[in-house]
Structure formats: C-alpha cells, structure tokens
Structure 1
C-alpha cells in the first residue's frame, strides 16, 4: 500500500539489505498440495467456513502463484471468525533456488518474513505497554524521554508529544534518513536546518505525513524508558507475551526458528531475492548490517533494529496478535496491553479533511497509533462489493506485501504475507481502490470469506 514510502525511501538502508541477481528464465512456481499447503479445519463446536468458501480460498490463493503479471512467489493467510481461527493457508515457496531445486522450500504458515511497516504495530504495542505501566505519557513532551530537545525550529514553543510521533503528526520527515549506524545518535538528525523537519507551514500536531523516522524515535524512547535495547524489549515483552516466534534481529532467533525465515523477491519471468537472501549460516549477534554492536549505548539510536519495518514474523504469529487485539489486549489469559491502550491505538487520532496531510492515493484517510482505519466505502476499501470497515496496518518493502486487519466491534479479522511481486509496483495499480493489485486480490478474497455464512 505504501508504495511511495517504505519501499522507495532511503537507498542507504536498501543497499544494506538488498541483493540482486541476473534475471532467470521463465519458470512457473506451482503449488503442490501435499507439500506446499497447510490448512486447518475448525472443530465442530467452533465457527467454520462453508465448504464452498474453503474450496474457493484454496483455489484462488493457489492461482496467485506464478512468475508473471499479478502473480507472487508465495502467500500465507490466516482468517478469524467470531474470534476463532477458521482457515490457514500457505501456497508457493518461501525460498527459491533455480540452480538447485532441492533448496526450494515451500511456504508454510509458520514461515517467517520481514513484514515491513506492519512492524510499526508491534513497536506501538511496546510503547503502549510502557504507557500502561505509567512509564510513558502519550501527551508528554517526547523530549523528556529522548534526552534531547525535539522541537520544530519554526515552532519552538510547541512540544512534540509521543502521541504525535505515533500518529505521524509530529512534523518529522524521512528526508534526512531513518537508519543510522550504532555509533551515530538519533539526536544528530535534528538540527535547526535539518530536512528531518517538515515545511514551516505545517505545525506539529496539525499535519499528517507518514514517516519511518517517527518509529526510530519511538524505538529510542522504548530504550530510554525500559533500559533495554529495542529488539530485546520487544522479544522479552511483546513477542514473549504473544507466544510468538518472531524477532527484529534475526541473529537472535533460535536456530530452528531462523531456518524457517523466508526471502523476499522481485522479478518478471523469474525471481531474485531482495531481502533476507538465502544463506547457509545464521548471522552473528555481535554486529548488524556489518556494523559492530560493541559499545552501543542503549537509548542513543532506536533506528538500529528497524522499529519501522524490520520485524520477522509468520502469519501464525500475526494470528496471535489478531486474537489479542480482538480481545481487548488479552491473549491466553495474559493482558499484553490494556483495553484502553487498544482503544487509543485503533481510534482515529488524525482524519483527512482535504488538506491536512498526504493520503497515498486515497489509501490513508485516517490514522491511529501504529494502526489505521479503512472506511469500506472509500478509496481505501479492500472489499469490492461490500462495505467492510477495518482497522489494522499494511506493510510494503522490497517486494513484500503484508497486512493485519479486523472489523471493529467484532472478532472477525485476517492477516496475510506475500513474499514478492512478479511485476513492478508502478504497473500494479488496483482495479477498484487506491491499493496495489496484489493487496486487492488477497484482501478482497479474505473479506468475502470473513463475511460468508
């Protein structure tokens, strides 16, 4: 969805994480039911899908796999109705090796992928957990947590609050970058004439611009307040509470989990890896992107572990998160965050009024805290023939397309991971909304299933 932002901003970090290879000859990536599909059937005492709808999901998801047009190398989905997991499906491949087909690994529902901007939801959960503990005040001046004075030079008397940062109304922009090496403090980006600030006519709190750097600031705040490195806090609090094999730092994954990490792909007629390229060894924990972590000062640079987009997680892990969100912050008897925090995240903190922000072609018309709302009758809609209001977040980077959404006031929702695209995003415009064609295809199908009776 955020084709103008997350996949194109900042060649610096893209170069660190991306890989290229020569174009391959045409090869159809076909699903093999016994090997590449993982389905579950709900017990009889739980909600279930009509058999015809399950068959439709199986067939149409399988038909998305290929190497041309609006095809993808792999897709995994999970669907909830009335709070119950009623369908899981995985098709295609998580790893592709044209030279050695024995290394072609199937997509599974526990395959992990870098989920791009969907990571922002998890960073926000970390902030809200600290809000629940009384360690962070959403409406406090963020400077008191960051340890440096965060002020727009044109509005020196206007505090930039944590709420503004988490809702992209802070006045911060990505023009100065949103990844810094371990030795460079995030404060170094915010000097008087820095391009990290918006134009002088847009006061903090008044204008929405989607910016990854906001979440580098939130990552820094989490480190400062908790005393833990950002990835460690998320691993030992949010992800642990959600009982999810996931991580912002793949080097820290248990080896068995790391082996299930899939690659992100692009390519027409054949795919090449763009992120998390296949390798035979797990990265070491003493460095990140080739930078030594020795001497890193916790709280100095929250951009380091990608709070804006570097979480690796499976669609089953996304399902655990859905359950928690739809149950007012509770998961398996534990309250991960409070019901009030879920309400703050899911309600609109900013609403487009025609001139107070950018909308990415009509796909972002309101935003909460690390989540946004979809009006089922707007250009942001994801269901073609029904008015379905949703709240959640998408992700898009390096060819990956991800999403997690639920219907407010219900316990119906879905999540998906697509690990690549067979044509350029510039040619992938949607047919009935401002979304990309791949997003329309998978979310329209999942909405139909979610509404089926």
Structure 2
C-alpha cells in the first residue's frame, strides 16, 4: 500500500467505534409529533454539525415510542449504511449456527475452513471462533490490502481523482477465500507482517478482518453467501424488507453519503466488500425491529431469532475493558458483536465513508429501552475530529437523555 494512502486513511474503511402475513411480523412505528423539544434539539444539532439527513428512533420494551427523519431526506424509509453494526448481524449468524449444532464457539476456526488460520509467531496456539468474536484472535484492524479489496474499482477511481489518493486498482479481484488465505498465510500473495498482531487470546484488538473471517466461516458452514444467509435467517423473519448489502436494491431511496474537508463533499453511492464487518444498509423501521429483538430475549413480535441463552452469551462481558470510551460511552467490555457500556448499556457504533450510526439499549426493572440513530456524514475516509469527538457524542447524549425520560415515564405508568 502506498505511503499516500496510509497517511490519509483515518483508521480503517469501517470506522472502529473509537474505541402482515402469516409467519411475517408487522411492525408499527408510532411517531410522537408532539415532542417538539427533542426535535428542536436534533435540528439544532444538525445545523451545528452540518448533517444533511438523519433518522432516529426510541424503543421501549417492544414498541417504538418515537421515530423521526430529518433534513434533506426525512423519509423513515431512507436507506443508510450502518457500518460496523453489521458485526452484530454476523455474530447473530454465528450464534444461530451454534444453536443448531453446526459449530462450537471454543472450536479452532481451522476445523471449518479450507486453509489454516495460524499466527506465524505462535503456531501452537489455536485461533478459536470465540477469540474472533471478541476481537482477541491477534488479527489487525484491517488486512494490509483491505482498501483495494473492500472498494470496487469505480469507487477507487473516484477517490483517486477527487481526493488525490493513489489506491491501486485490481483488475482481477480475488475471491474472499483467496483474499483471506493469501493475506493470513506468510507465503501468501497478499501477506504482510501487519496482518498478525498479538498472541491469540491475549489482547483485545478491534478487528474488521476478524469479522470478515467470521462471515466467511458462515459461508463455509452453510454453503451460501453471508448475504443470503442473513437475508433468509434475519432480514426475512423480522420483515426487514428494506435492508440489504447492495445500494442497487434501493436506487430511489438511498441516503447520499458525505464526508468533510472544510466543507461537505458528496460521495458516490457504493457497495463495500467487507460483508462480515460493515456492509449492511438499512432504515429506521427495520433497525427498530432488529433492536427490539435483542431487547426482548431474541424475539420480536412473536418471531424468535435467537434463544434467550444466546442473547445472554452475546451480551456477557467476555473481554473486560477499562479506561476507554467511545462516542460518549465508557466502555466496560466486549461481548459477541456488542460493546458493553457504563450504566448497563449494550451497543455498537459504526461508519463507512459518508455514514455514521449508533445503537444502544439497557434493561432495568424488567423493562428495556433502546435507541438507533443514523446520518449521512462520515469520517471513514477523511479525519473529522469534530464529528468523532464532539458531534457524535452530542447526538448520542441527546437521544439517551430523551430515552431515559420516556423510560421513566413508562416505568411510572
């Protein structure tokens, strides 16, 4: 990778969160149009942060208490990329396979793959599925040639021409199996010493590469793409009919992506090949259904996606973390595809170029309250410290405080 790319690339292509018919659910969004205070706060925040469009919802127990779209594309069916929140979908797929006996979380991931996943400095140490789920497998944030693999050539050409980068264009893009194998094998075509970090099981290192590997694991076990698996086993059962991995599925309703370089820069619509870690796009109603499922022990409107025991595993603190924060939350640890925050919250943030999203919820006194928010200004290509350090924590605080207020009202009613 050229020095020019490594200098300008912020952290990674997927932003690390800085640290009704029978059998189909119908989900009704209740919009509280009377909440002028919350809406005015959001609109003021959008003006200050120069956010073109935003959607958000607050869920209490199994109902959407408030949902609203704002800005240039205010329709709740506007489709946004959700970035690393995709990891929770991949983790859900892994837990479903665990439930049906297709895998064991403590198994060596090599047992299921056509190539070995071995740290060259620690060849005697297994890399287990759980290690990959908890970002402790020794894998990096991204593999060395990730930009070239993740982005299609049309998008790379646009970046090179408009941002004056010099990302290499691959005429013959490898398959996911080839890319992972040739990146993790020391004699592989795409191998670099960067591609292995700490001893497996020893250190938390947030890894898109790891969740890309988990997505490939799902494909190997099920003999179908991770996209098809998630469609059939998560999107379809929850009636998330405006969620996908491809912008072409919603040509008339995609949010336009923007990044900041002294002013807003409009990016072209794009797909991203990091399907296990950050490629999903969705809407407020769809993500409300998804969040409700986790808030209610794996069930939404009678549809059971995961067993309560699996939800418990996903939200257990498998990797305690202290002294770190992200997007306004103190981090206490990591589960499977979810961060554990202070105050009893579980959640995950995410971004791809031009998009930022966050979801979080908590259980208290037998009730649950959750928030999902997404908007079309990102910081995954160009460093945007004001967005990362000021504006994202601010919008999370606004929505958290409002959700707490509504939650207390629900508890007292």
Structure 2 length as normaliser, TM-score?
Answer: 0.77
Q: Partner of 1:417 in structure 2?
A: 374
Measure the CA separation in 2 of the matches of 1:421 and 1:230: 25
Q: Partner of 2:389 in structure 1?
A: 436
Measure the CA separation in 2 of the matches of 1:141 and 1:196: 22
Q: Partner of 1:250 in structure 2?
A: 247
Measure the CA separation in 2 of the matches of 1:203 and 1:305: 24
Deviation, structure 1 residue 270: 5.1
5 Å-filtered alignment, 1:139-150, equals 139-150=106-117
CA contact (8 A) 1:394 1:404 kept: yes
CA contact (8 A) 1:346 1:392 kept: no
Q: Partner of 1:29 in structure 2?
A: none
Moved over 4 A (4+): 358-365
Q: Partner of 2:290 in structure 1?
A: 321
Deviation, structure 1 residue 329: 0.6
Q: Partner of 2:158 in structure 1?
A: none
Deviation, structure 1 residue 157: 1.6
Q: Partner of 2:183 in structure 1?
A: 189
Q: Larger helix proportion, structure 1 or 2?
A: 2
Measure the CA separation in 2 of the matches of 1:305 and 1:167: 18
5 Å-filtered alignment, 1:12-411, equals 40-41=30-31, 54-66=35-47, 69-93=48-72, 106-173=73-140, 174-178=142-146, 179=149, 181-183=173-175, 184-192=178-186, 194-199=192-197, 202-244=198-240, 245-251=242-248, 253=249, 257-267=250-260, 271-276=264-269, 304=273, 306-352=275-321, 364-375=331-342, 388-409=343-364, 410-411=367-368
Deviation, structure 1 residue 87: 0.3
Gaps spanning 5+ residues in structure 1: where?
15-38, 43-48, 94-105, 278-287, 290-303, 376-387, 430-434
Deviation, structure 1 residue 64: 2.7
Deviations 1:56-83 (A, max 9, x none): 11111122333xx523111110001233
Measure the CA separation in 2 of the matches of 1:88 and 1:329: 22
Q: Partner of 1:294 in structure 2?
A: none
SS of the residue 1:366 aligns to = strand
Deviation, structure 1 residue 451: 1.5
SS of the residue 1:428 aligns to = helix
Out of 408-417 and 156-165, give the one that drifted further.
Answer: 408-417
Aligned-pair RMSD on alpha carbons? 2.9
Deviation, structure 1 residue 185: 3.8
Measure the CA separation in 2 of the matches of 1:263 and 1:137: 41
Deviations 1:352-378 (A, max 9, x none): 267xxx877985441111110111xxx
Deviations 1:124-152 (A, max 9, x none): 11111111111121110001112211111
Check 1:110–1:436 CA distance in 2 against 1; reply closer, same or farther (3 A cut).
farther
CA contact (8 A) 1:72 1:421 kept: no
Check 1:188–1:139 CA distance in 2 against 1; reply closer, same or farther (3 A cut).
same
Deviations 1:79-105 (A, max 9, x none): 012332110011112xxxxxxxxxxxx
Gaps spanning 5+ residues in structure 2: where?
1-5, 16-28, 151-172
Deviation, structure 1 residue 247: 0.8
SS of the residue 1:64 aligns to = helix
Deviation, structure 1 residue 266: 2.0
CA contact (8 A) 1:231 1:305 kept: no
Q: Which structure would you say has the larger RCO, counting Cα contacts within 8 Å and 6 or more residues apart?
A: 2
Check 1:401–1:436 CA distance in 2 against 1; reply closer, same or farther (3 A cut).
farther
Deviation, structure 1 residue 249: 2.7
Deviation, structure 1 residue 275: 4.9
Check 1:143–1:135 CA distance in 2 against 1; reply closer, same or farther (3 A cut).
same
Deviation, structure 1 residue 267: 3.5
Correspondent of 1:8 among 7, 10, 15 = 10
Measure the CA separation in 1 of the matches of 2:339 and 2:385: 25
Out of 237-246 and 265-274, give the one that drifted further.
Answer: 265-274
SS of the residue 1:75 aligns to = strand
Deviations 1:240-266 (A, max 9, x none): 122112111334x3xxx4422212112
Q: Partner of 1:284 in structure 2?
A: none
Measure the CA separation in 2 of the matches of 1:322 and 1:275: 29
Deviation, structure 1 residue 235: 1.3
Deviation, structure 1 residue 408: 3.3
CA contact (8 A) 2:10 2:383 kept: no
CA contact (8 A) 1:231 1:249 kept: no
SS of the residue 1:420 aligns to = coil
